Structure 1
Amino acid sequence: MNRPLIGITCYIETASFATWHVPSALLPLTYIDKVVDAGGQPVLLPLAGDPAKLVERLDGLIVAGGGDVDPRWYGQAPHPETNYVRRFRDEAEVALVCRAVESDLPFLGICRGLHVLNVAMGGTLHQHLPDLVGHTGHAPAPATFGKLPVLLAPDSRLAAITGSDFLDCSHYHHQAADRLGHGLTVTATAEDGTVEALELDGHPFALAVQWHPEAGDDPSLFNAFVAQANGSA
């Protein structure tokens, strides 16, 4: 089988290997497993050099989860709860997303990936959701997914992919889209009004979700994305 090449952005963080504790380029294995199961060939994209130049070699791009986008990208001062900012990752991923949009490369954003897409298109973010919605259900505790339902727009690509207008999802985010970037449409929301999915108008497949489908059991989103990358959707 000819597997489409799926680039996935990764973390640059200190990791432990045997007795070593060193800066590393890494990614949770769940992303890789979901892409492989969907028929894709995952390739990790270390955010160094000029990764945007790799877009022409890819069949699809996933911007994975991670820390917060530097609010200076959208003209705000940092909130006290804004954390794990990696400016080099912001720069690389914004450039990757812009290149993917320009070249009609299939794109899937996951959690932070939604934030990057919205900021890259000129939008802004709510920096700390509990201030807005009055609860911590979207990230109830460190390293603990929140389980919240989301409502899908019935005429959206996302609803067509999942075959549903209601999903029970794994959440882990304390930020969300505020003012939408150019060309973006909200296609899913939480019951508290939080934006949970965005789609880019006029693009063959540019979709971002706020939840973590790589942590769930439903493969439909990865299947649809890899099929699009393979030219078979």
Structure 2
Amino acid sequence: GKSTLVNALRDPTKGGAADVGKRARGVTKNITSYVGKKIGGHDVQILDTPGVGDKDTPVQKLFVNLEEELTGKDPIDGVLVTTPIPDGRIKLGAQVVQFLVSKGFIGGEKWKNVILVGTKKDRAEEGDVECFTEEVVPEMFAEAPGKTGTFALVSHHDYSELESTISALPNVSVKYAPIPEKDVASDLAPKIGLDVSKLSAEMREL
């Protein structure tokens, strides 16, 4: 999963590991920074976020925290969106990223900073990989030019494809403009089952 991937990419000599495991309330609770291994000769810093839908980190709080990171002083060069290949669908987390990129990222080539990472390739059954590449990828990048984008497939012991994909990210950092509150509420509320006015009020309190 996501935290397992973070541990595969981080530098184990510089800080502790990300928590990994199955917990009903989620594993990662805050946006946490890790020093990554060098990829393609470049220094890497990894930001690990709570999963969307984590009971201790509601979507509205995570969204506000993500906007703070995206508008912070430290540039972000790429966004990795993880989804298990065997699931065969785009989950809520990927939908939130779609919204962030579509409404907040700036520039005609903004989708090039996004990598869809299909995890658990080693657990995929016959047809799962084909479903991922032919259905899940186009769904994720439905609003990108050509309805296609960058993706990589990883398994528990092989992250080489992702490392190559990261090294090929454009030399242009993400540019982001905060999304108006009314647009956030009206788009996210139906996805998470909240009334638009309630979500808007909760976000103002954060």
TM over 0.5: no
What TM-score do the two structures reach when normalised by structure 1?
0.37
What TM-score do the two structures reach when normalised by structure 2?
0.41
Structure ranking higher in helix proportion? 2
